[in-house]
Amino acid sequence: MASVSFVGAGRHYPGADRAAVEALDLEIEDGEFMVLVGPSGCGKSTSLRMLAGLEECDAGSIRIGERDVTREVPKDRDIAMVFQNYALYPHMTVGDNMGFALKIAGVGKAERAERVQEAARLLDLTDYLHRKPKALSGGQRQRVAMGRAIVRRPEVFLMDEPLSNLDAKLRVSTRTQIAALQQRLGVTTVYVTHDQVEAMTMGDRVAVLKDGVLQQVDTPLGLYDRPANLFVAGFIGSPAMNLLPAVVADGVAVVAGHRVPLERGVATRAGRAVTLGVRPHAWRLAEAGEGIRGTLRVVEELGSDSFVYVTPSDPALAEEVAQCVVRVDGRRRLEKGEQVGLVVEPSEVHVFDTASGERLSA
């Protein structure tokens, strides 16, 4: 097992307008589960492939433990990769698939069988070792791909969107299994996903990328509570944070006539144009005369909670913000078309500089 370091690592494809990954600085601790997350084209898979040696690193360096592996070929990096499409050999049994890399590496038959049996027990695959991949479900095939990585006992696991081919219910159960397995094995793991819910529920820490640039690295709760900029604020959280344009006047932010007090330092530094971020749980529904007024358009009933979608009554605000999402008690009776007011505690408000996107609040 080992730590992983990206030191100013970059990748620029010939003919591209910008770098796929630009000056990535990221430290991954020994035994840590690090998730790289972001929208399509943000550079997360390219970063993983650079670490694997499948993409050239144009700038900077990459280290695994004390070794600089920037110019090493993939087979010398002591990594094991789990792909999105499983990449299993259809003509081989499960056991042969799991042990194939060991066979190529010259590991003896007895040790090979022992390692495969050990991995099969961990992954609940013992009864399937003599089956072919076509006889398995998607979740079972994914576990076989995991087993093939485990038997190699690498220093680092790399996982490139391994759950994207599974249905929603199976994704939930499998991500729990992967997180528990990684914790049990203690192997440094770098996991790529575009699904921020997956990232938040699995990672010890999460690195958010956009357009090839690292935006923020923190624990899942740290990202949720203190997003560094507007992109992270809007990307992390489901439903997403409500982002409202506001004008600062006399130490308060004014949104559609509603005044939200600001911290003294924030009001001074902010200038006039700010963006207020409010998580769905931070709103309080009030009478229509209070707070930011709007019309309740949609109610999503989820049992213990409900999400309601409110269209602002103020035309200028409605042009910028089509709807505000509010989490309420699932037993509260609400009617579509009802006029409501949205009120938020000042301590629950995130403040961002509209021009730069950077966080202003503490």
Hey, where are the domains in the chain? 4-231, 240-353
The mean per-residue pLDDT over the stretch 223-249 comes to: 94
Q: How confident is the model at residue 74 (pLDDT cuts 50, 70, 90)?
A: very high
The mean per-residue pLDDT over the stretch 14-31 comes to: 95
- pLDDT for res 346: 87
In the predicted model, is pLDDT for residue 105 greater than 90? Answer: no
The residues pairing with 64 across neighbouring beta strands, listed in sequence order, are 4, 67
The mean per-residue pLDDT over the stretch 304-325 comes to: 93
In the predicted model, is pLDDT for residue 323 greater than 90? Answer: yes
- pLDDT for res 91: 94
The mean per-residue pLDDT over the stretch 238-252 comes to: 90
Tokens 């485990």 found at: 150
In the predicted model, is pLDDT for residue 271 greater than 70? Answer: no
Q: Is 240-353 in CATH node 2.40.50.140?
A: yes
CATH class, range 4-231:
alpha beta
Query: Prior bond to 239 cis, omega within 30?
Result: yes
Q: Which of 158, 181, 354 is nearest to 269 (CA)?
A: 354
Instruction: Show the beta-strand stretches assigned E in the chain.
Output: 4-11, 21-28, 33-37, 59-64, 67-68, 79-82, 156-160, 188-193, 205-210, 213-218, 242-249, 252-255, 258-261, 273-278, 283-286, 292-301, 305-312, 324-329, 339-344, 350-353
Q: Which amino acid is present at 47?
A: S
- pLDDT for res 224: 96
The mean per-residue pLDDT over the stretch 163-184 comes to: 86
pTM of the complete model: 0.91
- Mean pLDDT across the chain, nearest whole number? 91
Q: How confident is the model at residue 354 (pLDDT cuts 50, 70, 90)?
A: very high
Q: How confident is the model at residue 333 (pLDDT cuts 50, 70, 90)?
A: confident
- pLDDT for res 111: 93
In the predicted model, is pLDDT for residue 270 greater than 70? Answer: no
Range with lowest mean pLDDT among 69-73, 127-131, 154-158, 345-349:
345-349
- pLDDT for res 60: 96
- pLDDT for res 5: 97
- pLDDT for res 177: 85
The mean per-residue pLDDT over the stretch 8-24 comes to: 95
In the predicted model, is pLDDT for residue 30 greater than 90? Answer: yes
Q: How confident is the model at residue 41 (pLDDT cuts 50, 70, 90)?
A: very high
Residue 119 Cα distances to 143, 173, 182, 306, angstroms? 10, 19, 13, 42
